[in-house]
Amino acid sequence: KNQVEQSPQSLIILEGKNCTLQCNYTVSPFSNLRWYKQDTGRGPVSLTIMTFSENTKSNGRYTATLDADTKQSSLHITASQLSDSASYICVVRAGGYNKLIFGAGTRLAVHP
Amino acid sequence: DVKVTQSSRYLVKRTGEKVFLECVQDMDHENMFWYRQDPGLGLRLIYFSYDVKMKEKGDIPEGYSVSREKKERFSLILESASTNQTSMYLCASSLEGPFDGYTFGSGTRLTVV
């Protein structure tokens, strides 16, 4: 069964600290993986997209990694800011039959 | 920037009412989608449309219908609202392909009482 599991469910960190969010998937065949940021009361916004051949991609203070062999991705946030408080959603696109499988998200709270 | 606008941020409706959720995008995207988002669950696809007057069922179409009379507008209809349809509803559009490169609206939080 195609699944995307994210951990932790929620996380609290202090401003300025780093954190890493995890995404494990069992989707096959794999097409790509996106990380979205969703602020409270808003729609998700894409941060990065990873294809099979990419293992690291950065977007400012956000760095996503992908290990296609172990079917794991991570999102690393450096020098966190209060504005990073949001839910982060991992989405895997299954190739072949064109389907998106969404993780339940990690809720991050950055405290001053 | 592409904008996807959902007409209502918050709605409260009574059980049995017919409910219309409207979504408009301004960048001539072919593909439009309706998802619902519930705590602890990933987004679930209700319906999508890849062209005017075309619609396809997603994973959870029961109790919903859609209308796409114009390219820029995609409406979600709850024929007879029930309490288990209380949720956040997200509309999205995409240009690149049916299942990629989404731009999401801000969502409509619907409460059915």
pLDDT of residue A81: 97
Query: Are B107 and A42 a contacting pair, CB within 8 Å?
Result: yes
CB < 8 Å to A105, chain B:
42
**Rg, chain A, Cα only:** 13
Integer CA distances (angstroms), A103 to A36, A40, A53, in order: 10, 17, 22
Contact A104 B92 (CB under 8 A): no
pLDDT of residue A17: 97
pLDDT of residue B16: 97
A56 touches chain B (CB under 8 A): no
pLDDT of residue B111: 97
CB < 8 Å to B102, chain A:
44, 46
Task: Walk along chain B (113 residues) and give the pLDDT tens digit of each residue.
Answer: 669 999 899 999 999 999 999 999 998 888 999 999 998 888 999 999 998 989 999 999 999 999 999 999 999 999 999 999 999 999 999 876 656 678 999 999 999 99
pLDDT of residue A85: 98
pLDDT of residue B1: 65
Distance from CA of B17 to the nearest CA of A (A): 24
Average pLDDT for A26-41: 91
pLDDT in tens, A53-110: 889 999 999 999 999 999 999 999 999 999 999 999 999 988 765 678 999 999 999 9
- A35 versus A100: which is more confidently predicted? A35
Contact B90 A43 (CB under 8 A): yes
Average pLDDT for A25-31: 89
Distance of CA A74 to the CA centre of its chain: 6
CB < 8 Å to B40, chain A:
9, 104
CB < 8 Å to B2, chain A:
none
- A44 versus A98: which is more confidently predicted? A44
Q: Name the 3-class secondary structure at B14.
A: coil
